[in-house]
Amino acid sequence: MYRALNFNAGPAALPEEVLKEAEKSLLNFGNTGMGIMELSHRSKEYQAVHDQAITRLRRLLAIPDDFEVLFIQGGASLQFSMVPMNLLGKDQAAHYVLSGSWSEKALKEADKIGETVISASSKDQKYSFIPKYSQDEIPDNAAYLHITSNNTIYGTQWQSFPSNKKTPVVADMSSDILSRPLKVDQFDLIYAGAQKNLGPSGVTVVIIRKELLKRSSEMLPVMLNYNTFANNNSLYNTPPTLSIYLLSLVLQWAEQIGGLEQIEKANEMKAKMLYDVIDESEGFYIGHAHKNSRSRMNVTFNLQSEDLSREFQKQAKEAGFVGLGGHRSIGGCRASIYNAVPEHHVEKLAAFMKAFKNNN
């Protein structure tokens, strides 16, 4: 069967093995006579799927016991609001590091809830690098420090994370969770929309230190309170059952191919292929991100003119490549090379880029 050369930023490519396994369950899951999406979320069959997804995530990421794993709907965009609603106290300020459009949106929502502070920003440099911030300037009573670990639009990524923190660290990891080993206990809350590396759209994973759950006010709407999900194993209402099933299959696939260490090596190799083409093109391809901030998930670049960029995308589409246009807010080109994008697809893109340069 034909499979597109899929470089979409999200929803993104899923492992072919996962899709084939899921296909078997669409009509008859576990001899129930029902498809996986038809099962009651209160059934023992679905309960096993749900619990297995949590177990696999805990195992892959080595999540400590003092953290809860929650499945929430609404995407990372809802977390922009839920984080300050649950964690931002009356006489506190939430600190944000601005490294791209998604951190801007997170800040905008927090501004509606309480006091915020911009601890660092690279906006004046078109978000071409991860800004440095001073931990000494964050007061002891700060509610939390919010970062976005990978910036899909601008192609930048944190290479290392805050340490020796005085305040809780919250990270939006929607676009690079599961792409490399992670010390979960460096953070206090991690959230991630699934549609990049974890699975399909429809479910958002929240990993939260149990101690932080005490901050959530009982006056919050029930579906905006983290305790609702923590106290009910994320089954207070009907969860996105199909998305969670597929997420569990993706986690199983990640374990089978060697876990996060092996995935990191593959991601490094794929990113190097494309960055080498950019760096060796003598200015034909112009990378957006500074080299010390480059993302392994989203390779962003421009060509020497808009006309050339349009021609590149036109010919790429004719050659079978999908999703190489830059985000509508900044234009240019972008190749999203998440975990499930096969290495040979990236090899084909690198070869196409070299050929296009030689012909133009």
Over residues 153-166, the mean pLDDT reads 88
For 213, list phi and psi in degrees, rounded to 5: -60, -20
Residue 166 pLDDT greater than 90, yes or no: no
Q: Which of 23-37, 51-65, 128-142, 341-355 has the lowest mean pLDDT?
A: 128-142
Q: Please indicate whether residue 253 is annotated as part of the active site.
A: no
Burial classification of residue 312, based on how many CB atoms lie within 10 Å of its CB (0-12 exposed, 13-18 middle, 19 or more buried): buried
Q: What is the pLDDT of residues 232-265, one digit of tens each?
A: 999 999 999 999 999 999 999 999 999 999 999 9
Buried-exposed string 206-235: b where 16+ CB fall within 10 A, e elsewhere: bbbbeebbebbeeeeeeeebbbbbbeebbe
**Cβ-contact 204, 79 below 8 angstroms:** yes
Taking the CA atoms of 331, 271, 298 and 195 in sequence, report the sign of the dihedral they define: positive
Residue 31 pLDDT greater than 90, yes or no: yes
- Which one of 176, 188, 196, 270 is the catalytic residue? 196
For 148, list phi and psi in degrees, rounded to 5: -115, 115
pLDDT band, residue 331 (cuts 50/70/90): confident
Q: How far is CA 211 from the centre of its chain?
A: 24
pLDDT of residue 260: 98
Q: What is the pLDDT of residues 2-17, one digit of tens each?
A: 889 999 999 999 999 9
Which part of the chain is CATH 3.40.640.10? Answer: 16-256
Q: Looking only at Cα atoms, what is the longest distance across the chain?
A: 64
Taking the CA atoms of 300, 306, 309 and 310 in sequence, report the sign of the dihedral they define: positive
User: Superfamily for 259-359?
Assistant: Aspartate Aminotransferase, domain 1 (3.90.1150.10)
pLDDT of residue 27: 94
Residue 156 pLDDT greater than 80, yes or no: yes
Q: Which residues contact 2 (CB under 8 A, 6 or more apart)?
A: none
This prediction's pTM:
0.97
What does pLDDT average to over the chain? 96
Q: What is the pLDDT of residues 123-155, one digit of tens each?
A: 999 999 999 988 888 888 899 999 999 999 999
Which part of the chain is CATH 3.90.1150.10? Answer: 259-359
Q: Please indicate whether residue 210 is annotated as part of the active site.
A: no
Q: Please indicate whether residue 172 is annotated as part of the active site.
A: yes
Q: Which of 31-40, 266-275, 329-338 has the lowest mean pLDDT?
A: 329-338
- Which one of 158, 172, 188, 270 is the catalytic residue? 172
Other CB atoms within a 10 A radius of the CB of residue 204 amount to 25
pLDDT of residue 164: 59
Residue 1 pLDDT greater than 80, yes or no: no
pLDDT of residue 253: 98
Q: Which CATH number fits the domain 16-256, given the four candidates 3.10.20.30, 3.40.50.800, 3.40.640.10, 3.90.1570.10?
A: 3.40.640.10
